[in-house]
């Protein structure tokens, strides 16, 4: 799916965020889930793929998730969470799964955290199994809006409450949405690329996230909002990468690069995986230009130290996981999650209560942030091949 112009992109947006100033009117009762997710050492859990442990310690971060109204009753049933894959981002296995399991365990709440491994039918099957197994609250990171909405509607017929985690399910019926300000993510990427490119005439290729991911639409919108306003910048190619697949991204980028005659000054890539795919093609053509990213992966930080990547966007997953844990526990106790605003479901034409967290740009100047925050291990970033560059860039954790 090729996005022809920023105007066309705007028409295609299916998930424009409309942050409202209102919140839940219910009286919050203190919950331990936020502190559990923030302080837990990420161990194993009931996810379908084994995840390396990731210490979720304290440190610098951009914002905190509010606590939820936990209600007054005891927890009924258990809480289920279905994560999307391990391909689009390593975070689902290394951060979200262990953090969520640790938060529920510490709160004494039975839970089942699994991964759909990129398969919408498998996600639907897991959802059916969880519902049959007694979950009363089900949180999903949808693989696409249609399959996600179908799961949520089926859950509702069984009396199961649902939550949207990280990605808004358009046309769904989730009780709340817990994520980051995703248009802001794109704005940070656009601002970061503009800083690295500087003034003058510049040619840019856009490598956007999956066309069926409403977040990807918002990332692209935010980036265009910043970069389109700089009239000396010119878009010479744009592609939405199906399924956030990094191998597909490499092929897509090579085609865009060839179509542009190899004349590109910068790449707006929606996440670190897509960015690295673009970098691989640039390296093949002996070219180094600024490339953006997202998710603050170990590879992304290494690319920044290499000078092949301009920046990445850090999303404090421990705070997002804490927000989901609190919201799920509130629903399981018969209460109402405390939210910070609303987002617009343009398909269902309704406002969805939301907890929106603030993302943070990461450059060479603050590479330590994701490590000090417990999101990454120092050893995973500063491998033997990068010890010297870590010392040069003062990456010490």
DSSP of 174-196 = -SEEEEE-HHHHHHHHHHHHHHH
* Cβ-contact 288, 265 below 8 angstroms: no
Range(s) of the domain holding residue 85? 16-180+317-357
CA dihedral 229, 233, 235, 239 (to 10 degrees): -70
Q: Judge if 336 and 255 occupy the same domain.
A: no
The conformation of residue 142, written as its DSSP 8-state character, comes to -
What was the pLDDT predicted at 107? 87
Nearest Cα to 264, choosing from 185, 309, 201? Answer: 201
* Cβ-contact 274, 245 below 8 angstroms: no
Q: Judge if 82 and 46 occupy the same domain.
A: yes
What was the pLDDT predicted at 122? 98
* Cβ-contact 169, 141 below 8 angstroms: no
- Number of domains into which the chain is organized: 2
What was the pLDDT predicted at 397? 82
The pLDDT of residue 31 is above 50: no
Q: Judge if 173 and 155 occupy the same domain.
A: yes
381 within a domain of the structure (yes/no): yes
What was the pLDDT predicted at 99? 94
Q: Which helix (H) or strand (E) holds 330?
A: helix 317-332
Kindly report the number of other CB atoms within 10 A of residue 153's CB atom.
Answer: 13
Computed over every residue of the chain, the mean pLDDT equals 85
Average pLDDT (295-300) is: 96
Q: Which helix (H) or strand (E) holds 280?
A: helix 272-284
What was the pLDDT predicted at 72? 54
Of 32-36, 220-224, 285-289, 306-310, least confident by mean pLDDT is 32-36
4 within a domain of the structure (yes/no): no
The conformation of residue 72, written as its DSSP 8-state character, comes to S
Q: Judge if 191 and 171 occupy the same domain.
A: no
Average pLDDT (1-27) is: 36
| 344-377 confidence digits (pLDDT tens) | 999 999 999 999 999 999 999 999 999 999 999 9
| 138-178 confidence digits (pLDDT tens) | 999 999 999 999 999 999 999 999 999 999 999 999 999 99
Kindly report the CATH number assigned to the domain that includes residue 169: 3.40.50.2300
2 within a domain of the structure (yes/no): no
Of 63-72, 139-148, 221-230, 255-264, least confident by mean pLDDT is 63-72
3 within a domain of the structure (yes/no): no
All residues at 6 or more sequence positions from 333 whose CB lies less than 8 Å from its CB, including other chains:
70, 71, 72, 73, 74, 75, 76
Average pLDDT (331-355) is: 95
Q: Judge if 247 and 388 occupy the same domain.
A: yes
* Cβ-contact 370, 296 below 8 angstroms: yes
397 within a domain of the structure (yes/no): no
9 within a domain of the structure (yes/no): no
| 32-89 confidence digits (pLDDT tens) | 444 444 444 333 333 333 333 333 333 333 333 343 344 456 777 899 999 999 988 8
What was the pLDDT predicted at 38? 44
| 92-129 confidence digits (pLDDT tens) | 999 999 999 999 998 889 999 999 999 999 999 999 99
Question: CA-to-CA distance for 50 and 47, rounded, in angstroms?
Answer: 7
| DSSP-derived 3-state class of residue 253 | helix
What was the pLDDT predicted at 187? 98
Average pLDDT (321-330) is: 95
What was the pLDDT predicted at 321? 94
Average pLDDT (246-260) is: 98
Residue 234: pLDDT band by 50, 70, 90 thresholds?
very high
What was the pLDDT predicted at 10? 38
The pLDDT of residue 219 is above 90: yes
Both tokens of 244, joined, read 């956030």
List strand residue ranges (DSSP E) for 242-378, in order: 266-269, 312-314, 341-345, 350-357, 360-362
List strand residue ranges (DSSP E) for 107-252, in order: 111-115, 135-140, 161-165, 176-180, 202-208, 233-240
Q: Judge if 338 and 365 occupy the same domain.
A: no
Is 312 or 76 the better-scoring residue by pLDDT?
Answer: 312
Q: Judge if 75 and 189 occupy the same domain.
A: no
């Amino acid at each position: 799916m090729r996005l022809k112009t920023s105007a066309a992109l705007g028409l295609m947006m299916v998930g424009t965020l409309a942050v409202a100033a209102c919140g839940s009117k219910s009286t919050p009762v203190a919950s331990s889930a936020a502190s559990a997710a923030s302080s837990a050492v990420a161990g194993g859990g009931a996810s379908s793929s084994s995840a390396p442990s990731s210490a979720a310690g304290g440190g610098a971060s951009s914002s905190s998730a509010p606590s939820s109204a936990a209600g007054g009753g005891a927890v009924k049933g258990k809480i289920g969470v279905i994560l999307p894959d391990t391909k689009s981002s390593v975070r689902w296995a290394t951060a979200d799964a262990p953090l969520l399991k640790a938060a529920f365990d510490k709160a004494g709440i039975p839970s089942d955290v699994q991964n759909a491994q990129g398969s919408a039918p498998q996600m639907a099957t897991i959802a059916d199994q969880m519902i049959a197994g007694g979950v009363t609250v089900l949180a999903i990171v949808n693989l696409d809006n249609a399959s996600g909405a179908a799961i949520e509607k089926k859950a509702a017929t069984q009396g199961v409450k649902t939550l949207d985690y990280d990605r808004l399910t358009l046309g769904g019926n989730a009780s709340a949405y817990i994520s980051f300000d995703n248009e802001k993510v794109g704005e940070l990427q656009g601002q970061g690329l503009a800083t690295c490119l500087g003034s003058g005439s510049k040619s840019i290729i856009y490598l956007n996230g999956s066309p069926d991911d409403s977040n990807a639409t918002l990332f692209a919108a935010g980036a265009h909002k910043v970069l389109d306003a700089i009239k000396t910048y010119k878009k010479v190619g744009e592609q939405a990468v199906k399924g956030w697949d990094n191998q597909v991204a490499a092929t897509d980028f090579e085609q865009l690069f060839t179509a542009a005659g190899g004349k590109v000054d910068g790449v707006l890539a929606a996440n670190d995986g897509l960015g690295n795919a673009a970098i691989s093609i640039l390296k093949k053509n002996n070219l180094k230009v600024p490339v953006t990213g997202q998710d603050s992966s170990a590879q992304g930080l290494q690319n920044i130290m290499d000078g092949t990547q301009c920046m990445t966007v850090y999303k404090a997953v421990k705070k997002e996981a804490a927000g989901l844990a609190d919201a799920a526990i509130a629903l399981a106790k018969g209460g109402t999650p405390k939210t910070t605003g609303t987002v617009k479901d343009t398909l269902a034409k309704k406002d969805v209560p939301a907890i929106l967290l603030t993302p943070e740009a990461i450059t060479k100047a603050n590479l330590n942030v994701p490590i000090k925050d417990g999101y990454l291990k120092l050893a995973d970033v500063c491998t033997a091949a990068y010890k010297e560059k870590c010392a040069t860039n003062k990456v010490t954790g």
